[in-house]
Structure 1
Amino acid sequence: MNGDAMTAITATDARKGLFGLIQQVNQDHTAVEVVSKHGNAVIMSKEDYDAITETAYLLRNAANAERLLESIERARRGEFEKHGLLDA
């Protein structure tokens, strides 16, 4: 997902254009906030949702979080290691 501000639409508009909305969030990888008097919700692609929940899971463990953050910092400095893929 990108870092742009989230678009907000009414529940009525979301209902009217649901299939187009599903296509939009999958193509653009942008979440859409659905605003309703019964509470707001967010529509996002399953792929983006899975990525967010996996990241949250990995960051719950302090050791994992430290390793991931160190890896990100090394990558930013251009310190990469090339590895082959493992056969499943």
Structure 2
Amino acid sequence: MAVELGDAQRRLGELIERVNRDHTEIEIVSGSASAVLMSKAEYDALVETSYLLSSPANARRLMSALQSVRETATRRNDPSRAP
């Protein structure tokens, strides 16, 4: 969703409630420039994810762990593996 700056200024409270309620972002446009409004929780998660993935070694460990969890979940849900 994109909102012109003047509209965003008039509706700021409503927009803040929306990004927190809907876990979404709103682009605020002013001429050729723009910015993004998001909840503090979403921002914190984005910053943390960026930090965790900033080290290639840490990113590999996280991706490996995620793949392991996915494989375990797939095996648990595989009907051909039923006793």
TM-score, with length taken from structure 1: 0.77
Deviations along 1:61-86, one digit per CA (max 9) or x if unpaired, are: 1111001111211222235xxxxxxx
1:22 maps to amino acid: I
Q: Specify every segment of 5 or more residues in structure 1 that has no aligned partner in the other structure, as ranges.
A: 1-6, 80-88
> How many residues in Structure 1 have an aligned counterpart in Structure 2?
73
Return the match for 2:69 from 54, 66, 75. Answer: 75
1:11 maps to amino acid: L
Pair member with larger Rg: 2
Where do 1:5-84 residues align within 5 Å?
Answer: 7-37=1-31, 39-78=33-72
Q: Secondary structure at the match of 1:40?
A: strand
Once residues 60 and 36 of structure 1 are traced to their aligned partners in structure 2, the CA distance between those partners, rounded to angstroms, is 31
Q: Secondary structure at the match of 2:72?
A: coil
1:66 maps to amino acid: R
Q: Secondary structure at the match of 2:24?
A: coil
Percent sequence identity over aligned pairs: 45
Q: Secondary structure at the match of 1:26?
A: helix
Q: Give how far 1:38 is off.
A: 5.8
TM-score, with length taken from structure 2: 0.81
1:78 maps to amino acid: T
Q: Which runs of 4+ in 1 moved over 6 A?
A: none
